[in-house]
Structure 1
Amino acid sequence: MNVMEFFQQSAGQWQSQRTTHHLPFRRAELGGSNISVEALPADNERVVEICQLHNVDPSLAVGGAYVEWKGEMAWDRDEENHKGSTVFALVPDEDNPQQGQLLRERGYAEIVPVIGRYEMDSEDGLLLTTEYETMSSIERFWFANPDLRVRTSVVKRFGGLSTASFCAESRIETVPEQSKDEAAAREAFEAGSQYSSFGW
C-alpha cells in the first residue's frame, strides 16, 4: 500500500474513541470525536496552496487530504472546543516514495503550519513524525479491517511532559462507490504520470 492508497481507504466518516494517558500525572482521560476525511488529488487547489505555503514545488506532490473533526474529552471545561479542520499535502522522497514530507496547514500538537515526515511501513501502517518549536509528536495509523482504523500517538514537550493516546476509529459512512471509482481512476493516472520521476 502506498500513502495515497492509505488515504483513499481512509476517506469517509469516522467515529473515534480515544484514551489519553497524561504520563507525568499518571492519569488517563477518555474522549471521542467524529472525523471526516476527504482524499485530494495532486492537482487539487488546496494541495497546491499548501505546497506554495511551504515553498515546495506543487508538481512534486502526489496528493493530500482534507480532514475535519469535532469531539470532546472528559476533562473539558464548558468553554473548551475540540473541533477544527486541516489540509495537508504529501511529497514523496525521490529515491523512496514510501516516505517523504507531509506539509500541514496546522499541526497535531501546535496550530501552526508545519512540515512533518511520513513513512509507510512493511505492515501498511502510516507513521507520522513532526518536530515543533516546543514539542514533538509521533503518530502511527493502521487498519485492523477496512472499517476499523487504529491510531497511537506520543507527544513529548521539551520541558519533560509527555502524553500518549490510543484511538479506535470506526467507519460510520463511506464515500459513494462512484466517487471511489473516479478517485481510483484518477490515482492510477497520477501514479502512471509520476512513474519515471518517483519510481512508483
Structure 2
Amino acid sequence: MDAMEFFRNSSGNWRSQRTTHHLAFRRAETGTSEIFVEALGADDQKIVEICEMHDCDPAKAVGGAFVRWESAMAWDKEDENHEGTTVFALIPDEDNPQQGLLLRERGYAEIVPIAGRYHIDEEEALVLVTEYETMTTIERFWFANPDMRLRTSTVQRFGGFNTATYCTEMRVKEENTVSASPAPAYEQFCGW
C-alpha cells in the first residue's frame, strides 16, 4: 500500500471516538468526531493550490485528500469550535515512493499551513511527522479492517510529551451521520 491508496481507502464518512491523555495533568479527556475524507487526484485544483502555497512543483504531487471534521470534547467550553477542513498533498521522495513530503493547509496542532513528512511503515500504517516552531506531532493511522481505522498521535512540546491520543474510527453511511456530541466526562473518576 502507498499513501495515495491509504487516502483512497479512507474516503467516506467516519465516526471517531477519541481519548486524549493530558500527560502533565495526568488526566484523560474523551470526545467524538464526524470526519469526511475525499481522495484527490494529482490534477485536482486543491492539490495544485496547496503545492503553490508551499512553493512546490504541482507536477511532483501524486494526489492527496480533502478532510472535513466536526468534533466535541468533554472539557469544551461554549465558545470552543472543533470544526474545520484541510487539504493534504503528497509529494513522494524520488528514490522511495513509500515516503515523502506531506503538505497541509492547516496543521494538526497549529492552525497554519505546514509541511511535514510521511511514510508507510512495515505494517502498512500511514505515519505523519510534523515539526512546528514549538512542538512536534507524530500521527499513525492504520486499518483494523476496511471499515475500522485506528489512529494514535502524540504532541511533544519543549522536549517533553504533552498529549497522547488514541482514536477508533468507524466508517458510516452518509445517511447515518449525526452531529458530534461530547462523551461522558469519565476522566473525573478514572484519572488517566
For the criterion TM > 0.5, the same-fold answer is yes
Under a length normalisation based on structure 1, what TM-score does the superposition of the two structures give? 0.85
Residue identity opposite 1:76 in structure 2: D
Tell me which stretches of 4 or more aligned residues in structure 1 moved more than 4 Å: none
For residue 64 of structure 2, give the secondary structure of its aligned residue in structure 1: strand
Would you say 1:172 and 2:172 are equivalent positions? yes
1:121-136 to 2 correspondences below 5 Å: 121-136=121-136
Runs of 5+ consecutive residues of structure 1 not aligned to the other structure = 175-200
Residue identity opposite 1:156 in structure 2: Q
Identity of aligned residues (%): 66
Q: Which residue of 1 aligns with 2:59?
A: 59
Deviation at 1:158, TM superposition (A): 1.5
1:36-185 to 2 correspondences below 5 Å: 36-158=36-158, 160=160, 162-173=162-173
Deviation at 1:62, TM superposition (A): 0.2
Residue identity opposite 2:93 in structure 1: D
Deviation at 1:134, TM superposition (A): 1.0
Would you say 1:19 and 2:33 are equivalent positions? no
Runs of 5+ consecutive residues of structure 2 not aligned to the other structure = 175-192
Q: Which residue of 1 aligns with 2:187?
A: none
Name the CA distance, whole Å, in 2 between partners of 1:119 and 1:48: 21
Would you say 1:29 and 2:29 are equivalent positions? yes
Q: Say how many residue pairs are matched.
A: 174
For residue 97 of structure 2, give the secondary structure of its aligned residue in structure 1: strand
Under a length normalisation based on structure 2, what TM-score does the superposition of the two structures give? 0.89
Deviation at 1:120, TM superposition (A): 0.4
Name the CA distance, whole Å, in 1 between partners of 2:117 and 2:130: 6
- The structure with more helix, counted as a fraction of residues: 1
Mean alpha-carbon deviation: is it higher for 161-170 or for 35-44? 161-170
Name the CA distance, whole Å, in 1 between partners of 2:136 and 2:47: 24
Contact 2:154–2:161, Cα closer than 8 Å, also in 1? no
Deviation at 1:88, TM superposition (A): 1.4
Contact 2:130–2:137, Cα closer than 8 Å, also in 1? yes
Deviation at 1:160, TM superposition (A): 4.0
Name the CA distance, whole Å, in 2 between partners of 1:62 and 1:148: 25
